[in-house]
Structure 1
């Protein structure tokens, strides 16, 4: 027999053996399985009630304190982002058909004028009236010039006179203010005043010489 035929026969035998073994194993398993099911059914019918007790709950474990957590520095504060300003839409522009009148000008009140400093006190006035100068001398000369007619007629009397004293201290414009009763004595008194009388002239407020008036009485007496 050739080698190839031997190989074919050997393979066929092996296959047949495997099939036979499988059939036997299956029969055995079927038999065992059937017996087992019958036994289980009989046991179920025999047992009517089975008390099932719940196992006791496991003992409670004691509470364990939470594990200590290490000190951790808090995170740095985070600044919130800046708000975003969303500008609203601009209002609509309204046009006026008529131009309003201009507003009145603002009232401006000028500042008060500065207070003027007080005026300096006025200088003392230098004004004064006319004063006689060497009055005894010229008054004696007027009496010495006794009118000759009045001597012959032995006429005596007192004459009141008034003269204008000029700025240079001389007498002028004599007038009789009180008559002696004798026109001769009255005329002689005015002539003597205008010829012999001398004065310190009057002064105005600034101290300048000015005109003034002066009044006096002249008495004529016989020895």
Structure 2
């Protein structure tokens, strides 16, 4: 059997996401500037976000709470309550940014749904991910939608068993080597990496060069050809 199912990541694969977190990081720095001379403010914020993943998970809620924690930490708890309120407001604004699909997304999904089963595999806050999917107008392309706390090989194995003909007939597509590519390969599927210029540093990893089930493309307009090459190598 050829590849029958294409699993796709959402944030920064189908639509813009990280750019809005970068804008919020800058807003956070501007709010804290009068109260701290820390030169590593952004690094401390990202360290807090990373540390808190096991408590709050991925998404805007954990990011907002980590901004508050960092603000208190870098100012020795001297930051005014009014500023904390503005920090929280900046976090809530992440829910109001427009959804901007990336180039070739609609054309690729429209083409590939005619020949493959499409499923969405995204991680983060359920409310936020459902909101973005609804706003994107892409939901009807997918036969199944999985919003998970994290992406591990075990997570992918469960999803592949539930929604596909098995990992040998499935390809996972996304912009994160750490979350989309490496664990899905470990689960036995094929994987296609679609780099995004603003991918969060947490998601970086070494490319699995030489892996016969791995491919890298510049944009989703090249996905059909990558899948055809996988099928041709069987």
TM-score interval w.r.t. the shorter chain?
under 0.3
Q: TM-score normalized by structure 1?
A: 0.24
Structure number, greater radius of gyration: 1
Q: TM-score normalized by structure 2?
A: 0.23
Which of structures 1 and 2 has the larger relative contact order (alpha carbons within 8 angstroms, sep 6+)? 2
